Chain A
């Protein structure tokens, strides 16, 4: 994950500390990342037409991008962790403001693959697109969220879901699942970001 030949020992240890903390979903490490690095990201985004809330959203999205990279063991860092995080934040923010402004007005600099490994394009796209899904999924009623989770993720049979949800019949649960999913898709499609974020 970290190439020690290009960076000094101290930095290597710190990179490993942060990347492993992210991979293990360690809240103490994530807290340190917030304390050390968020102020700089906030200042950068606030200096580039963003608000503090915009900066916080971008910062959290960037951490998710890094999580997606480290969980697949596909991150090779020859630079400081902060440099990598900062670069992802910059790119996510530029992509966001580019959608609001004239496309040519905002230039996205070349990704330095020699020090930061391959650009996490897929991870950034997924983070942005799935962020929209998450936002809409959370707007669904609680029973809808539960039915979709039980059916699509846990693969439980309709009869069992009906019993768990306290429904009178599996037929009702089946219809309810259909309604919930259509509602979710309608909300996603109605959002203007849906077309922009299509793969």
Chain B
């Protein structure tokens, strides 16, 4: 039997095109020949994979959304550049190259919008923040945080912020940090800035990242550079993002 004939036979078998007798004979051959059995298993798998048109359609949608999200970080800035470039042709005549250079840069608010992503509850309300405290107060805090987390997971961000504000914590820094992130999620960068500064001891790198974003949201890019530089010098999960942001701030 040639390789082509063998492949044809496997296809006929898997597609149910063999007679009952032929199928039984072929099954006996499969039993006796491990290489043939492996070949049939892979063919069956491929047939199953190629036939999953619904899964492939779902995957295509997921990849499309992923691509859109990735481009969303670039397109607004690129579009802005295009408009800025057109406008600057006129401005250049009057004010020269300095103004053009300023217009080409994305605004701090653009960068804030592009870089701020609502974090998962577990990421900024991790119980590990409370590790060093006594058992009773830790338990009380965790009960309060449980309520905040439940509201937050349901997308009730304003209610989560109110619930967090009502907690009387025994660890002020941890509470301030979490409050700061919640203010930012609720688009209140000014309040976030104060809380994050007070909460830096609880999560230094997290506080630096969100403080830098709050400063950008408040149109204070020069001040945002310091926490970003600190993140660049470190090895936290925000380092890569901080490097990208600093490049765009130039």
Taking Cβ atoms with an 8 Å cutoff, the residues of A that contact B are 10-11, 14, 22, 25, 27, 30-31, 34-41, 43-44, 46-47, 52, 56, 60, 63-64, 67-68, 71, 80, 82, 86, 129-130, 133-134, 137, 148-149, 152-153, 155, 174-175, 178, 181-182, 184-185, 188-189, 199
CB within 8 Å: A-B pair count: 112
Given the interface pairs A130-B49, A133-B46, the reply to whether A181 lies near B7 with Cβ below 8 Å is yes
Residues of B within 8 A of A41 (CB): 120
Residues of B within 8 A of A43 (CB): 119-120, 123, 237
A30 to B64, CA, bound (A): 10
Residues of B within 8 A of A86 (CB): 120, 122
| Cβ distance A80 to chain B, nearest Cβ, rounded Å | 5
The bracket for how many chain B residues form the interface is 35 or more
In the complex, are the beta carbons of B119 and A30 less than 8 A apart? no
In the complex, are the beta carbons of B237 and A47 less than 8 A apart? yes
Sample 20 A-B pairs with CB under 8 A, ordered by A number.
A10-B154, A25-B61, A30-B65, A34-B65, A36-B155, A37-B120, A39-B118, A40-B119, A40-B122, A41-B120, A43-B237, A46-B237, A60-B63, A63-B62, A67-B58, A68-B55, A130-B55, A153-B50, A175-B4, A189-B42
Secondary structure call for the A interface: helix
Decide if B24 is an interface residue (CB 8 Å cutoff): no
User: B50 contacts which of A39, A40, A149 (Cβ < 8 Å)?
Assistant: A149
User: B42 contacts which of A14, A35, A71, A185 (Cβ < 8 Å)?
Assistant: A185
Most buried by A among B45, B55, B58, B63: B58
The residue in chain A whose Cβ has the minimal distance to the Cβ of B53 is A153
| Cβ distance B96 to chain A, nearest Cβ, rounded Å | 40
The residue in chain A whose Cβ has the minimal distance to the Cβ of B154 is A10
The 8 A-B residue pairs with the shortest CB-CB distance, nearest first, are A40-B120, A39-B117, A46-B237, A133-B49, A67-B58, A130-B49, A43-B123, A25-B58
| Cβ distance A47 to chain B, nearest Cβ, rounded Å | 6
Given the interface pairs A30-B65, A82-B153, A188-B42, the reply to whether A152 lies near B47 with Cβ below 8 Å is yes
Query: Would you list which residues of chain B between 44 and 77 have a CB under 8 Å from chain A?
Result: 45-47, 49-59, 61-66, 68-69
Contact with A along B137-175 (1 / 0, CB 8 A): 000000000000010011100000000000000000000
Residues of A within 8 A of B123 (CB): 39-40, 43-44
In the complex, are the beta carbons of B53 and A133 less than 8 A apart? no
Residues of A within 8 A of B52 (CB): 130
A67 to B119, CA, bound (A): 24
